[in-house]
Amino acid sequence: MQIEVYFRDQEWQDFAPVGKRQDWPLAEEMTFLNHGSFGSCPREVLAYQRELRDRLERQPVQFFVRDLEGLWDEARFRLAQFLGASPDGFTFVSNATQGVNTVLRSLSWKPGDALLVTDHEYNACRNALNFIADRTGAVVQVVHLTLPIKQASDVVDQIVEQVTPQTRLLLIDHVTSPTAIVMPLDAIIAAMRQRGVATLVDGAHAPGMIPLDLDALGAEYYTGNCHKWLCAPKGAAFLHVRQDCVDQIRPLSISHGANATRQDRSPFHLEFSWTGTSDPTACLSVPKSIEWMEGQLPGGWSAIMQRNQALARAARRFLQDQLHWQPVVPPEMLGSMAVLQMPDASSAAIPTSPLYADPLQDFLWGEHHVEVPIIPWPAPPKRLVRISAQLYNCPKDYLNLFYALTSALNR
């Protein structure tokens, strides 16, 4: 099919950018298709955060000592409500990696305990799991998910097959970072519960990408970022602990709450609401982000999620048809990101960053002002291109990517 035909199709016409590009601080000349890594925070939300920072600096003691607890609770309650979570075991953390580390470092492990994880897990959190195993004698069991995945039940079956009597915990992405797969979490958690295995969900990408009801989901531990698809300022994330597990979890930084004698607040919240002096304004801005985003489409968050998911699917299909690169999952296992398998790299790249290694990504940015992650996966020279779809994205962005990739790979 000719490229022009794609962009005359009514499906593409429905994907005009929502609102104004100026609502976001992204550079005008940039094609930004990497919202999944860091995203961009709307200008109005950043302005709200600046107001909070100004308030903090005008009278720091008033803000930290007298005002912060109420502001913290208000923001926490709003986010918990949005995510279908009981506020009792719900708290802010700085990022999902910190949330994963908090749970792993709080629990007790003994030699021989098996910690289950898939080979699609985010590298930082996999490193945390390896750290625990090295320190305690626990064993990391890796489930190698066969690609391409034809249906969601295949993932469940492959994970369940690796459970043994020694398996204590499953660490799993809700939406995998390197491969953009929306995991069938309901079925996975139910299967783990039947086998007496706790589940720690790395939900870094899920809030704002897919509907969440954390209490109904029932995972023992769930952590997620607010700076990605919720578009909050960087440094805002949450940890949700199921009520029967709350007493086991303590923050990474033990601070004043450890010996607090107050009776009006649970030990969990006494500890997590103050772990030392830091800038809390990113977390306090989360309700503003939820509100601002919700107002961008008549259908609110449901319409936003559906729109971004449909755009990611359409963009993947366009690139697949034009470049003849293969997907790794069926469309129903996609959220607002998608990957395609690229031709192998000519050689294994030497990483210049803890996040990306393929020089093609730098070339696309330097020569074409296209920012998109090129992911060495499962290992060099194999690699994937991962696209994102957010409200500021439109069909032209994926056309720009197509031309940039064609230019780069034909040079």
CA distance 272 to 237: 13
387 has which bridge partners?
Answer: 338
- Give the model confidence (pLDDT) of 88-116 as tens digits: 999 999 999 999 999 999 999 999 999 99
Domain match, 199 and 327 both: no
- Write down the pTM of the prediction: 0.95
Same domain, 165 and 264: yes
In 59-180, alpha helices (H): 60-61, 68-82, 96-106, 123-136, 152-161
pLDDT mean over 346-374: 82
Residue finishing a domain among 260, 292, 324: 292
Say if residues 118 and 145 touch (Cβ distance below 8 Å). yes
CB distance 289 to 81 below 8 Å: no
Q: DSSP letter at 114?
A: E
The predicted model gives 180-201 an average pLDDT of 98
Residue 36 placed within a domain: no
Q: Is residue 404 part of a domain?
A: yes
Pair 210, 103 in one domain: yes
Q: Is the pLDDT of residue 351 over 60?
A: no
CATH, residue 215 = 3.40.640.10
Q: Same domain, yes or no, for 242 and 208?
A: yes
Task: Count CB-CB contacts under 10 A for residue 204.
Answer: 28
Note the pLDDT tens digit of each residue in 27-82. 999 999 999 999 899 999 999 999 999 999 999 999 999 999 999 999 999 999 99
Is residue 349 predicted with pLDDT exceeding 60? no
Q: What backbone torsions phi and psi does residue 88 show, to the nearest 5 degrees?
A: -60, -45
* pLDDT confidence bin for 18, thresholds 50/70/90: confident
Instruction: Flag whether 387 is in a domain.
Output: yes
Same domain? For 266 and 351 the reply is no
Please say if the pLDDT value at position 196 is more than 90: yes
Q: What are phi and psi of 126, to 5 degrees?
A: -65, -40
Query: Is there a single domain that holds both residue 356 and residue 239?
Result: no
Q: Are 159 and 119 in contact (CB under 8 A)?
A: no
- Residue numbers of the domain that contains 358: 3-16+298-409
- Edge-to-edge order in the sheet of strand 221-225: 90-93, 237-241, 221-225, 198-202, 167-173, 114-118, 139-143
- Output the pLDDT for position 346: 81
The partner residues of 26 in beta bridges, in order of sequence, read none
**Residue recorded with tokens 């939406």:** 175
Task: Give the pLDDT score at 263.
Answer: 93
Q: Closest by alpha carbon to 372, among 338, 345, 343, 344?
A: 338
Do residue 237 and residue 125 come from a single domain? yes
Query: Looking only at Cα atoms, what is the longest distance across the chain?
Result: 70
pLDDT at 118 over 70: yes
pLDDT tens-digit readout, 229-252 = 999 999 999 999 999 999 999 999
In a domain, 29, yes or no: no
Q: What is the pLDDT of residue 9?
A: 65
